[in-house]
Structure formats: structure tokens, C-alpha cells
Amino acid sequence: MQPLDDGQQRAVQAAIQAAQQAYAPYSQYHVGAALLAADGRIFTGCNVENASYPAGICAERGALAKAVSEGARDFSLVVVATQNGGSPCGICRQSLLEFSPAARVLCVTFEGLVHVDSTVAELLPFGFSPRSLI
């Protein structure tokens, strides 16, 4: 595994911390996400569930909405933190592909153990992206 630099390590810690804000009374599955933007800023998110289940949102897309609304669109790293190092769902892979196919993706446990070290494009092979519309 490629060693993590300072910014990447900060992103890992930020994702783990973000999971503490998860609102997951239905699944009890807490997720934290952190996006490291090209300018060094880190945007975090957590899953926010809803009594009307489909209205819930994943941690990754929460972080992405924050980032894009703050002017960040280019990400070098996506960190997802869960109890078991689970990887992003299909919808989140699609949302991330829109902005940063080359971004590295780290799926870590709350103890910081890396379960997945990949890229957005690798996680969604033959994905539909802005280039597909040309």
C-alpha cells in the first residue's frame, strides 16, 4: 500500500470522527466519509437516515454535496469509515465518478485499518460519466 501523507492521514481521521455524527437509528450502521480536495480542504459527511427509509442519505453523498456547494469539485482522496471497512454503495460510486474518477478510495475501520485501497473508476468499471454524453 502507498504510504499516506499528512493530508491523507488527516482525511482518515476526519472520516472516523464524522461517523460519530451518524444518524442511523434504523440500521445501526454508522458511516463517516471525508473528501480531500485538490486545494487541501477536507469535507466530511455521515449517513443520515429517515423514518421514510429511501429519504436517507449516505455519508459519501452528504460530504460531496457539502464540498460542491463550497466550490470544491476535484478530489484526490475519498475515505469511508465504518465498523467493518465496508465500501461505498453503487449510487455513491456513481456520484463520485462524476467529479473525480481518479481519486483514491480508502475504506477503513474505526480503528484505522485499511480494508480497500482503490480508485473511484476501479470501483465502477464501465461507469457512465460526463464523457459518456459526448
Active site residues: 60
37, 49, 77, 81: which one binds ligand THU (CB under 6 A): 49
Residue 58 is a binding residue for ligand THU (CB under 6 A): yes
Q: Which of 63, 78, 88, 123 binds ligand THU (CB under 6 A)?
A: 88
SS3 at position 38: coil
C-alpha cell recorded at residue 81:
469509515
State yes or no: residue 47 binds ligand THU (CB under 6 A).
Answer: yes
Distance CA 124, CA 119 (A): 9
| x/- letters, 89..108, toward ligand THU (CB under 6 A) | x--x----------------
Min dist CB 40 to ligand THU, Å, is 24
Distance of CA 11 to the CA centre of its chain: 10
Q: Cβ 97 to ligand THU, closest distance in Å?
A: 13
Which phi and psi angles does 84 have, rounded to 5°?
Answer: -125, 15
In the sheet that holds 114-119, the strands lie side by side as: 42-46, 32-37, 75-82, 104-109, 114-119
CB of 88 to ligand THU, least distance (A): 4
Minimum CB distance to ligand THU smaller for 36 or for 49: 49
Conformational region of residue 16, where left means phi above 0, alpha means psi within -120 to 50, and beta covers everything else: alpha
